[in-house]
Amino acid sequence: MSIRIENLTYRYKNFTLHIDHLQFEGAKMTSIVGPNGAGKTTFLKCLCAVLPVTKGSLFFRGRDIAAMHADERARLLAFVPQEHSSAFNYTVLDFVLMGRAAYLPIFSMPSANDVAMAREALDFVALGHYADRSYFQLSSGERRLVLIARALAQKSEILILDEPTSFLDPKHETEILELAKKLAGEKQKTVLVTLHNLDMAVKYSDAMVFMKKGEVIASGKPDDILSEALLETIYEIKMSILRHDGRKFIVK
């Protein structure tokens, strides 16, 4: 019952996002899937109060997320964007250190403690030895991991990852999703991910949310809600669900 969404509406030009009621469970990994233009990223941004909602509220343990101050909200949820660029070539450590901004008043410097937490976050994503490298030197997969490390340094309960596996090769894709799963399991974080790869979503998620054209079509445990009919409704093509090695696979 960590995050509760009531009657959320967001309008932008011709697109309307509308969710009557949705819940995300704590300490679980939930993936949000759906075709392009379904509103997944928009939904995440509304969740993070990056976009102002037209109507409705998002509650975390009864508190309205959008009404919080930026620093308070940042201590609560961390957002890892899909696309990222930096004008300046910071070192990896300096980059991750920015995650501590929510805990530092405007005129303060990060303490040794903050630096330690940044290093810890880097270690968790197995990039501790990259601390002094510069950001521009990293591959896109490594940059993704650094962004996640920064989000970890925020020490927030909720972690939101927007398409963290896009443009990554299978190895890195797996790494990131393993990491996300670990965060939900070991670190007890509430993890939300948007994904295109349905197989991976099915494999790693504790819960799934299917979206289409700005609405939630189905949500729940993969085993419970996954069906060929649902897939055809969502993606408008015929797909088959196969079983192999105890896992489900979706074939187009």
With beta carbons less than 8 A apart as the criterion, state whether 12 and 29 touch.
Answer: no
Amino acid at position 146, single letter: V
- Using CA atoms of 214, 84, 24, 152 in order, give the dihedral in degrees to the nearest 10: 180
- 83 versus 223: smaller Cβ distance to other proteins: 83
Taking the complex as a whole, the smallest distance from the CB of residue 94 to other proteins amounts, in Å, to 5
Taking the complex as a whole, the smallest distance from the CB of residue 108 to other proteins amounts, in Å, to 7
Q: Which of 57, 62, 32 is nearest to 46 (CA)?
A: 57
- 135 versus 210: smaller Cβ distance to other proteins: 135
Taking the complex as a whole, the smallest distance from the CB of residue 60 to other proteins amounts, in Å, to 15
- 21 versus 129: smaller Cβ distance to other proteins: 129
Taking the complex as a whole, the smallest distance from the CB of residue 173 to other proteins amounts, in Å, to 23
In angstroms, the CA 75 to CA 244 distance is 41
Sort 60 into a burial class: Cβ within 10 Å, 0-12 / 13-18 / 19+: buried
Taking the complex as a whole, the smallest distance from the CB of residue 199 to other proteins amounts, in Å, to 29
Binding residues for other proteins (CB under 8 A): 45, 48-50, 69-75, 78-79, 81, 84-91, 94, 97-99, 101-104, 106-110, 132, 134, 150, 154
- 13 versus 171: smaller Cβ distance to other proteins: 13
Taking the complex as a whole, the smallest distance from the CB of residue 29 to other proteins amounts, in Å, to 20
In angstroms, the CA 134 to CA 207 distance is 37
In angstroms, the CA 211 to CA 19 distance is 10
SS3 label, residue 213: coil
Taking the complex as a whole, the smallest distance from the CB of residue 85 to other proteins amounts, in Å, to 8
- 72 versus 232: smaller Cβ distance to other proteins: 72
| Other Cβ atoms within 10 Å of 207 Cβ, number | 19
- 16 versus 91: smaller Cβ distance to other proteins: 91
The secondary structure of 113-142, three-state, reads HHHHHHHHHHHHCCCHHHCCCEHHHCCHHH
- 150 versus 212: smaller Cβ distance to other proteins: 150
